[in-house]
Structure 1
């Protein structure tokens, strides 16, 4: 017979909190934040209302905690991919795309939950403040990965890393939404190829604009000498 370790009070509370968060994750994706009550969350998790209020003051507090929990998971995944050696920026994007395409049903729920976060962030100021904080943290992490990847390959960034990170997030979210609404109409690696084309195009534009700028500077010098 196995001897199970008895959980401490702190461990038990942390476990209960995690179970409530996972319950909320499922319900918010299925029926939305405003369609979910404390009773829904506790019944789905197998706990009492008392257990809920021992961990969260309000449903809004639960939502904010879930946002932090989900962003932490995204950061962990992003840091793992960034830690893999000898991967180009495009290869990192491709790996992330493959990871998210492995479980279609899970990714569908994850994106529905993300959309619920957006709606609540637009409706509730405290939720918006929390969402912005975690979103900016994720963007900074992506920006660092972009900077490191381009530096390792001795490549020039086509635009500021933070702006490129914002474009990647926006493009990925938009394509994920389209894939939900119009399934099987977009290729799975479209986000990776789109970003690669954008980077290549921006680099090419920078190369062609640089000589033009030099010519303008030289023309100004010539004009100033003739005056």
Structure 2
């Protein structure tokens, strides 16, 4: 069996710290989760933590960014987008909407970040930039769904992303059984509205 390189070992350590942090934060909240509790749950020393993160806020930002990036990647791959032919996989889109109910941990982390940003002006600037980048990337993917239907959205990609995120977070926090079904219905209604405006 081939030994892991130093970079691979560090990445594995980071992933284990991410997993421990996600479990601790979703269970106890960000404020009550300590660096000690994260490292103990992951089975590492505090030195391992500070080799990967500047502080607890840095971990939260990196973890949320990782989860959102994974979510965008999943959505993009589910759609099987072909920009040249302007096609997407409708089955993939339906599968993605079914998957949304499994996204509770990411939503809780994002809510934690929003709460911190509302109290900490310095963190707010980091969070705002992070949200802008995420909204732009997610909005561009959502616009592909409109384009597939032959419709140009009346809202900006960022606004579409904000609606999508707000719906997802709100429905998951309300413990709705099938949030994807409602989000899909609203997305279809927006597409239908803009389609009628084109005629």
- What interval of TM-score do these two structures reach, taking the shorter chain for normalisation? 0.7 to 0.9
Number of the residue aligned with 1:142: 138
Unaligned runs of 5+ in 1: 209-227
1:38 to 35, 45, 52: 35
SS at 1:189 equivalent: helix
1:60 matched to 2:52? The reply is no
Number of the residue aligned with 1:172: 168
Deviations 1:121-158, CA, capped at 9 Å, x for gaps: 32233433333333222222232223333334322323
* Partners of 1:92 and 1:170 in 2: CA distance: 22
Contact 1:158/1:203 (8 A) holds in 2 = no
* Partners of 1:69 and 1:13 in 2: CA distance: 16
Unaligned runs of 5+ in 2: none
TM-score by length of 1: 0.72
Number of the residue aligned with 1:51: 48
1:125 matched to 2:121? The reply is yes
* Partners of 1:135 and 1:91 in 2: CA distance: 28
Contact 1:82/1:145 (8 A) holds in 2 = no
Deviations 1:175-197, CA, capped at 9 Å, x for gaps: 22222xxx55x765111112222
Contact 2:151/2:191 (8 A) holds in 1 = no
* Partners of 1:125 and 1:114 in 2: CA distance: 17
| CA RMSD in angstroms, aligned pairs only | 2.7
Number of the residue aligned with 2:150: 154
Contact 1:121/1:127 (8 A) holds in 2 = yes
Deviations 1:53-73, CA, capped at 9 Å, x for gaps: 222232222222222222221
CA 1:178/1:116 → structure 2, altered by over 3 Å: closer, same or farther?
A: same
1:193 matched to 2:189? The reply is no
CA 1:168/1:187 → structure 2, altered by over 3 Å: closer, same or farther?
A: closer
SS at 1:36 equivalent: coil
Query: Alpha-carbon deviation of 1:119?
Result: 1.4
